[in-house]
Amino acid sequence: MAGAQEQGLKLLGAASGVSPYVIRAQMVLGIKGLTYDYLPEDPRCKSDLLLASNPVHKKLPVLIHGGRPVCESLIILEYLDDAFPENGAAILPADPYRRVAARFWAAYVDNKLFPSCIGILKTGKLQERADKVEETLSALGLLEAALAECSKEGGAEAPFFGGGSLGLLDIALGCYLPWIEAIGCLAGMPPFLDAARTPKLAAWADWFRAAEPVRALLPAADKVEEYISTVLYPKWKAALTASATN
């Protein structure tokens, strides 16, 4: 159970409710059974608290524990695992090799998979879009193979990257599921996670969505679609217009 160390735990997150980076922090807070104050922020009008807590990147989420800020979502996940080892299940394995493998693939998801996937919507050029689709499918194929390797527990395959329970990589990838679905719908494409192409990932996604505390935190894909259409599309259009006039 959470103890006195938990006091003063706050999470600065986007008010939209669809940020995968904020959601992954909420997932680990839920796994650890930690109570916290959620402080919604408008990224377009950054508060003094956000600017003081994350003066380098000025981005969300930010975890504040005992008055000290922790920035960057993957770092927040590891911090919670280390700071509250007796709360809930560990999200990183004890084995050093499996730990670095989870970190490697979590970074791959953030730096390769999602930029390729969202890039499908950011270009109007057919060849560029086709390239981004191919990059996304290739990345998912690699993660399919990674799941087969990372999920091995006692010589048999478990449902999650973390084995029998949710781990760092499950959370790092799983928080993007509504986004991957929404991007596919907006691009007029069949589902990226296809049981014929990536059967392990497709089954994993079903397990993940049904897990606690995930199912209460993942937004519906149509909510993400609305956010992309009303917030991101105008932002991308404005950026393209500005670059064309410079």
> CB pairs under 8 A, 24+ apart, for 236-242?
236/121, 236/122
Please state the φ and ψ torsions of residue 37, each to the nearest 5 degrees.
Answer: -95, 125
Q: What integer pLDDT is reported at residue 105 of this predicted model?
A: 98
Which residues, listed in sequence order, are joined to residue 64 by a DSSP beta bridge?
10, 69
pTM above 0.75, yes or no: yes
Cα dihedral 176, 180, 182, 184 in deg (nearest 10): 180
Residue (of 197, 215, 216, 196) closest to 206 by Cα position: 215
CA distance 183 to 172: 18
What Rg value do the Cα atoms of the chain yield, rounded?
18
* Amino acid identity at 31: I
Two structure tokens written together for 156: 């048999």
Amino acid code (one letter) for 131: D
pLDDT of the residue at 155: 64
Look at the block and give the residue holding tokens 């680990």. 28
189: Cα separation from own chain's centroid: 22
Per-residue pLDDT of the chain (246 residues; tens, 9 = 90+): 344 355 689 999 999 999 999 999 999 999 999 999 999 999 889 999 999 999 999 999 999 999 999 999 999 999 999 999 999 999 999 999 999 999 999 999 999 999 999 999 999 899 999 999 999 999 999 999 999 999 887 667 889 999 999 999 999 999 999 999 999 999 999 999 999 999 999 999 999 999 999 999 999 999 999 999 999 999 999 887 777 676
Report the pLDDT value the prediction gives residue 2, as an integer from 0 to 100. Answer: 46
Q: Supply the DSSP string of the chain, one letter for each residue.
A: ---GGGTTEEEEEETTS--HHHHHHHHHHHHTT---EEEEE-TTS--HHHHHH-TTT--S-EEEETTEEEESHHHHHHHHHHH-TTSS--SS-SSHHHHHHHHHHHHHIIIIIHHHHHHHHH---HHHHHHHHHHHHHHHHHHHHHHHHHTEETTEE-SBTTBSS--HHHHHHHTTHHHHHHHHHHTT---SS-TTT-HHHHHHHHHHHHSTTHHHHSPPHHHHHHHIIIIIHHHHHHHHHHHHH-
